[in-house]
Structure 1
Amino acid sequence: MFGLKKILIVSLALFGLCSVLLAMCTQIEAFITSRLIQGIGASGMSVIARSLTAHYFKGPALAKALSWLSIAFVFSLGTGQYVGALLISAAGWSATFWVLGVGAILHIGWVYRYLPDSRQAHGIPSSWGHYVMIIRHLPFLFPALTGGVGYGIIMGFSTAAPSILQTTYHWSVNDYGALGWAVSLAYLLGSLSINRWVLTYGQKTLSRIATRIMLLASVLMLMGLMANRSCALLLWLPYCGIVFGQAMNYPISLSKACEYSPVSGPYSMALCGFIHQLLAAFIGTTVSLLTLRHPLPLALICLLLAVLVWGLNIVKPTSSRDD
């Protein structure tokens, strides 16, 4: 109805405004409310970025293009965690939100100036029925869930890891911030692997390899912590292996979901983004409610989710339309 560019600008404005409000918050109720609305803006930015990518690329080329989007995610994952730790240590927690607010405002100007507007593709009118049709199409749903559950592993680990690393291994804020570089390197290598090899070996082969890597890394994490719970290396190093596999799995899952969508246009990518954010919120909330204080339960959760990712990937669904 409005085009991707306008929705992206609105999302950036919402994110930037809430970031400024968060920096000035003095009450916990206002902080949580602003944080919730900020998340809505962040989700819109994330979904539109993928939708724009799907607008210009198709098939294996889309997976290759999405790997570049993943590389951009690497910089936010690693530098954000590290720079955030430095800002908190130097200027307090509010400084991180001021930086986010200024960054969002700068991006609004860049998007307005350089990004061409994109209306609905092929003249398809907007309809909620399109989303119902897509989500009922199993060849779309399974790869979408594969990427979403893998994304949920990262969100679940990020929810519980700060507390575990602080209480069990006595890490400082700066120690946890430095871990972001290792995680970023793992994600970068996974994204570069897809970018380099997807056109050569195909999405199916690399997707199978990626999910097996995630499963193997989760098994190694659980077995290592069962043998020695006092070594933090046995927690975060296998996690980097999971991140590496997810970096390979994620762009392929998005590309396959869009390829098998029964409706053309940006609907499938937008729905993928919604599914992924919903799964990440559910997994992150569940992990936070469990109030994990020890690494072994977290390793078990990572393994269960990795098994689910692997299972979703090997299933070959058939839609009712195909029947």
Structure 2
Amino acid sequence: MQNTTSTKLPLFLIIVLGSMTAFGPMIIDMYSPALPTVQHHFGSSTSEVQLTLSFTMIGLALGQFLLGPLADAFGYKKTGIITLCIFLLTSVSSIFVTHLSSFIIIRLVQGLTAGGIIVIAKAFAGEKYTGDLLAKFLASLMVVNGIITIIAPLLGGLSLTLGSWRIIFVILTIISLVILSGFALNMPSTVKDEARRLNFKAIFLDFGQLLRKPGFVIPMFLQGLTYVMLFSFSSASPFITQKIYHMTPLQYSIMIAINGIGLIVVSQSVAILVTYIHRYRLFIYLTLIQIIGVVFITMTLLLHGPLWILLIAFFLNVCPVASVGPLGFSMAMEERTGGSGNASSLLGLFQFILGGIISPIVGLKGEYNIMPYVLVITITAILLIALQMIYFRHHNRKNI
């Protein structure tokens, strides 16, 4: 392993790898403002166009699961270059696509490669640094990730203001080309760039052991349901805000950017508070904030209340995800039976597949019907409360 002893972190490496960890927000948050426009372009139903988001999430899940072991087997740099090249091709293909069915398949592959790019960036960091320096380096990557998370929806909104939704994929093409060039020409090789044997059988055996442990499964569902709030928001909010409340795509993008700032602030605040407050109590408090958001979203939509109340409710519902998810992740990881990589892969796989399933459901009744979204977030809130009560009763009663 190549461990860097110098405490000075290379800025170029931080920018390239940090940008790679943000490929998820780039392909979801930059694209989501365009959903109503894409629907109109292809003449599809709301649920059909939401499949372009749903299949992207499923691709992200599968990419993080499959390409991690492949990178271990064939080398991080080689796998990273190939994956970035395929991502570049999907971005170019999206510019010229003419059929929705083809676009959905392209988005699946784009999500698959984006998931792999995220895993490879983190693995590269783990190979280059260890200990406190690794923690410092990952924190630096998250700063770049956070900045891109805020900028991505604004770029999406500006693209729609300038013209076609296809401009979004022109931007993604340029970004991926720049990152590919930087990665291929400047990234150092690691010791993992030696061939190693894939062992998917051992991975699935470990998955089976994990899924038999309630102490792992319940936090996995708690984390997954929390992300259902985020994914259903990403899928439904473009239509609710633009079709029912008549926001422009740029205004919607600004709302997403503000929520992105909220996600970062909440995440950093909880990182400090966890030193003073037991993490499960924090988990409960943050979930309660989400549920308050659900109540106000439901009341506002059913009564067609003011837009400003709805935007605040969205903020309350979405912002805790940045911390509730990692807290659930940490509770589940305590129960892992094998390596942390397999447990982490299973948690990531579950949350994105759950998001991929939910996304088209919220649009089943059309672009002006809010009932599927209201039902999804209400049922999710009830399940979160029930699972927290079960988890508290069986696992954390003595520790809180």
- 1:183 and 2:255 are equivalent in the alignment: no
Q: Match for 1:259: what amino acid? A: E
Match of 1:14 among 79, 86, 89: 86
Aligned equivalent of 1:162: 238
Aligned equivalent of 1:264: 339
Q: How does 1:97-176 map to 2 (within 5 A)?
A: 97-111=169-183, 113=187, 116=190, 126=200, 127=202, 128-176=204-252
1:48-87 Cα shifts (integer Å, max 9, x gaps): 56777899899xx99x999887765544443211111112
When structure 1 is superposed on structure 2, of 292-301 and 151-160 the one drifting more is 292-301
- 1:208 and 2:284 are equivalent in the alignment: yes
User: In structure 2, the residue corresponding to 1:261 is in which secondary structure?
Assistant: coil
Instruction: Give the superposed CA RMSD.
Output: 3.4
What CA distance in whole angstroms lies between the structure 2 residues aligned with 1:57 and 1:232? Answer: 48
1:139/1:101 CA distance change after superposition, 3 Å: farther
What CA distance in whole angstroms lies between the structure 2 residues aligned with 1:204 and 1:311? Answer: 15
Aligned equivalent of 1:244: 319
Q: Match for 2:86: what amino acid? A: L
Match of 2:99 among 27, 31, 53: 27
What CA distance in whole angstroms lies between the structure 2 residues aligned with 1:286 and 1:51? Answer: 34
- 1:38 and 2:114 are equivalent in the alignment: no
CA drift at 1:37: 1.3
Q: Match for 1:40: what amino acid? A: L
Aligned equivalent of 2:273: 197
Contact 2:94–2:103 under 8 Å retained in 1: yes
What CA distance in whole angstroms lies between the structure 2 residues aligned with 1:178 and 1:42? Answer: 24
Contact 2:71–2:120 under 8 Å retained in 1: no
Match of 2:296 among 210, 213, 220: 220
Q: Match for 2:244: what amino acid? A: T
Q: Match for 2:361: what amino acid? A: T
Q: How does 1:80-99 map to 2 (within 5 A)?
A: 80-99=152-171
Contact 1:68–1:191 under 8 Å retained in 2: no
What CA distance in whole angstroms lies between the structure 1 residues aligned with 2:130 and 2:394? Answer: 25
CA drift at 1:273: 1.1
When structure 1 is superposed on structure 2, of 64-73 and 206-215 the one drifting more is 64-73
Q: Match for 1:132: what amino acid? A: G
Contact 2:238–2:252 under 8 Å retained in 1: yes
Contact 1:87–1:93 under 8 Å retained in 2: yes
User: In structure 2, the residue corresponding to 1:80 is in which secondary structure?
Assistant: helix
Identity %: 22
Q: Match for 1:155: what amino acid? A: F
What CA distance in whole angstroms lies between the structure 1 residues aligned with 2:384 and 2:189? Answer: 35
CA drift at 1:19: 0.9
Contact 1:164–1:292 under 8 Å retained in 2: yes
1:71-106 Cα shifts (integer Å, max 9, x gaps): 655444432111111122224222211221232333
1:255/1:115 CA distance change after superposition, 3 Å: farther
What CA distance in whole angstroms lies between the structure 2 residues aligned with 1:155 and 1:67? Answer: 25
User: In structure 2, the residue corresponding to 1:291 is in which secondary structure?
Assistant: coil
Q: Match for 1:163: what amino acid? A: F
1:45/1:117 CA distance change after superposition, 3 Å: farther
1:212/1:300 CA distance change after superposition, 3 Å: same
Contact 1:139–1:261 under 8 Å retained in 2: no
CA drift at 1:261: 0.9
What CA distance in whole angstroms lies between the structure 2 residues aligned with 1:67 and 1:249? Answer: 18
Q: How does 1:47-86 map to 2 (within 5 A)?
A: 74-86=146-158
Q: Match for 2:104: what amino acid? A: I
Q: Match for 1:285: what amino acid? A: P
CA drift at 1:275: 0.5
Contact 1:82–1:174 under 8 Å retained in 2: yes
What CA distance in whole angstroms lies between the structure 1 residues aligned with 2:205 and 2:279? Answer: 29
What CA distance in whole angstroms lies between the structure 1 residues aligned with 2:388 and 2:226? Answer: 11
What CA distance in whole angstroms lies between the structure 2 residues aligned with 1:140 and 1:131? Answer: 11
Aligned equivalent of 2:306: 231
Q: Match for 1:98: what amino acid? A: V
Aligned equivalent of 1:301: 376
1:124/1:44 CA distance change after superposition, 3 Å: closer
Q: Match for 2:286: what amino acid? A: A
1:40/1:132 CA distance change after superposition, 3 Å: same
What CA distance in whole angstroms lies between the structure 2 residues aligned with 1:209 and 1:67? Answer: 25
What CA distance in whole angstroms lies between the structure 1 residues aligned with 2:341 and 2:214? Answer: 18
In structure 1, the gaps of 5 or more residues are none
TM-score by length of 2: 0.67
What CA distance in whole angstroms lies between the structure 2 residues aligned with 1:254 and 1:235? Answer: 29
User: In structure 2, the residue corresponding to 1:175 is in which secondary structure?
Assistant: helix
